[in-house]
Structure 1
Amino acid sequence: MSSREFDLTTEGIRLYESNHTAGDMIKEHHHEVHQILYALEGEGEVVLNGKSFPFKQDRVAVIVPYSAHSISSDSKLTVLVLAFDQSILGSSVNDDLLDPYFPDTRLVELNPLDGSNVRQLLRKMLYEQSHGNSINYVAMKIFLSELLLKFTRSQAQPEAFDANVLRAERLRTYIDTHYFEIISSSDLSTKLGMSTRHINNIFKDRYQVTPIQYLTEVRIDLAKKLLTKTDKDIASICFEVGFESLSTFYRTFKNSTEVSPNKYRTAYKVELP
């Protein structure tokens, strides 16, 4: 099987669904383009580089051109297939992300947080593809770059022997990089697929604060830097660090520092060149 069987459109990218019933077997084959396989539902096995791996939700196969692979299904298996020509990506994405981190075919295991984000990116790509205008394909290429970045960072995460320690560390990393969009503890529990109480317990055991308390610390620390090292308006700082209203920002900031944002800026402002 070759890339000629794919209609990548003139834009060089296509996302589609591949359905398999229990016992189906897609024999070993290869393509002339890159593929990303995401198990949406069900379970099966994928053979990559001659090795067999369990294939289920939150497992992704990144397949380079001319790399032989096969899929078998143990139950009804639904796979999202993202096929793309490497030439559609910018040189920085190819040189700094795709080529060094995915020089060969490999399986990527996603944690629940990353899995939730990957599913959201794939939903966005399906939406853009359904409209099919040139601007929609620009969006698809941007989301593809985000996917590759997500897979790369997922591989780079250190291993931990204790599952709860690993979950807590991943949650902290998620908060550090998504502090501007997290709304509540229920938002985090939904992404992790665990109860709010359990998340609070494992995080507090590791860091002595709850995830939301840590989120507040991250936001306030960043606000302090922006207040003292930039001339940004306080309303802009409030928005940038993730607060929904100025009143909430002022109240939270004062509870943390015992002074208002204005007074903090006056006391600690760094003279800009």
Structure 2
Amino acid sequence: MDLSLELGNCGFRIFQLHPHEADSLHKHEGHYQMSIPLTGNVSLQCNQTIRRLSADHRLVVAPDDEHRHIAHDEPVRIMLVGLREAFLQQVWAERFGHHPPQLALPNWHEGENDRFRQLGEHAILRSMQSQPEAFVLEELEWQLAQLFLQTHTGSHDACWHRPFPVVDHPALQRAVQFIHDSYAMPLGLDQIAQAASLNKFYLIQLFRDHFGCTPGRFVMQVRLDRAAQLLRQTAREITDIAFEAGFGSVSSFQRGFKARFRVSPGEYRRQC
């Protein structure tokens, strides 16, 4: 059974080929795509070249590359990770302040695939459980684009791996204060970045450097802390607390609360 998650700027798909089966030669106009083997022996054709890939190899195709996947004597599972070319250019522009030169990458790469696998599998699993918030999906796209550009060598490599410029701490303080003032409302990266006077690329990097998490995860923690406070100090209904703390649904609140505090909101209240 195929599993997939399609977002505005990226997508993940896990699919299976039967023994001796292959898909047709095709292109992805306007998109880059990675093919990452998960199980079984698979060969990949890119333009006129065919190679057999192991678990620590991947194929990266540009929008104009023809490619297909070929199974051998056993079923194979493959993860496809797609990124819009225009979005990669946007991420580059956020970091450097100008549009990049034409991105050129080798097709065949050897190296650790676990970070891409984990990101894709986690994203698909979360989407199957419930509809993630728009903020979470937007951060996922940015994490994937940054990982893609950081991991692969190519025409962008020399610029991309330059040290980050120093960002003043007051920008981080402005972002944190805005989140504490606005956590009960729907938030997005654009709003937080504007409040901090930073672009989205450096906003994400700054939160990772100082807090070890993304801005979206930080917002989640602030909301959960507020919900826990209301559970301890009031007798209000859990549904009311979930919405006052900024959650879009009771189910997302309960899931996030249990992941953070290891108990349900009701059990947490009884233990206080």
Normalised to the residue count of structure 1, the TM-score between the two structures is 0.45
Q: Mark the structure with the bigger radius of gyration.
A: 1
Higher helix share: 1
Normalised to the residue count of structure 2, the TM-score between the two structures is 0.46
